[in-house]
Structure 1
Amino acid sequence: MNHDDLRYGNLKHMQTAWSEATPGVVHASWSGHRTACGKSVVEAKPVYESHPRDITCAECGATAVFDLNTAREHARAVTEKYEASGAIRHDFASSFREEAIEAIAPKAFEMRRNGESWNKIATDFLLIAASGEDGTSRFVGKVGQAVIDALEESEFPEGY
């Protein structure tokens, strides 16, 4: 997913694009060569004809409409407490944060596009991924909720 600060918040330079690898799916691109999800671009609309509402790839859509770096910061704030206590290692925390974003952001994009509320997104996540009462479920729930809160905070305000 997006590791490039030039993407989110720079939608005026975003192009909708297509890839041979995914016929019928509309992606986002900032270069015209690769999609946000890493596929080769075979065709891209000009920037002035492109809008986030046209994106159908959930990963590209999440990259376009959310600030994933904010999500990383929120998740890091949670995992750093566990690292400091010695409960988890830094390498695990880093990969877990990224996996959480990769799992949650595309699904949040799809759900928001379908008119779902942030409360529904958070509830569904907690019921599916963090439904237990054990320490692992609480950890997963805290990191996931931090990611969801950051996505809500950074969501593209003009609709999609």
Structure 2
Amino acid sequence: MNHDDLRYGNLKHMQTAWSETTPGVVHASWSGHLTACGRPVIEAKPVYESHPRDITCAECGATAVFDLHTAREHAKAITEKYEASGLLTSGETFRLREDAIKAIAPQAFKRRRAGDSWNAISSNFLMSTGAATGTDGTSIFVGKIGMAVIEGLSASELKEKY
């Protein structure tokens, strides 16, 4: 998943692209060499012909239409106190946040494109992870991180139709 936060909000430099490794799937690229999901590009449309609505790769789509940095910051607000108290290391909290983004952002892209509301996406996340019904600390922690990521994605979503 994208770690280069300069990509989002810079859609005027985005190219829709294709990779040999995923025939028939349309990706996003900002370099023309690699897709946002890290696959090698074999062909890319010119920037002026590229639009997020053409992207079919959920990971590339999430990178294009959400500010993943905002999602990271929302999740970081949850994990900071666990890190400060010594319950988790810096590396562990980083991996938790990145894993949450990697799992949630592509699904949110697909669900938003299908017309689902953020409320439906949040409810689905809570039910599918057991965070809605779990009473143990781990379920609650996972739910908090996931909901923070979803809030960050919602707050930073591309405002135009995709």
Q: Over aligned residue pairs, what C-alpha RMSD do you find?
A: 0.8
Q: Distance in 1 between matches of 2:102 and 2:66?
A: 12
Deviating beyond 4 angstroms after TM superposition, the runs of 4 or more aligned structure 1 residues are none
- Corresponding residue for 2:156? 154
Asked whether 1:59 is paired with 2:29, we answer no
- Corresponding residue for 1:120? 120
Aligned sequence identity (%): 73
- Corresponding residue for 2:142? 140
The 5 A counterparts of 1:11-160 are 11-129=11-129, 130-131=131-132, 132-160=134-162
Deviation at 1:20, TM superposition (A): 0.6
Q: What 5-or-longer segments of structure 1 have no aligned partner?
A: none
Q: Distance in 1 between matches of 2:52 and 2:27?
A: 9
**Amino acid paired to 2:153:** L
Task: Give the alignment's TM-score, normalised by structure 2.
Answer: 0.96
Q: Distance in 2 between matches of 1:69 and 1:35?
A: 18
**Amino acid paired to 2:142:** V
**Amino acid paired to 1:33:** H
Please state whether the residue corresponding to 1:28 is helix, strand or coil. Answer: strand
Q: Aligned residues, how many?
A: 160
Q: Distance in 1 between matches of 2:5 and 2:85?
A: 31
Deviation at 1:83, TM superposition (A): 1.5
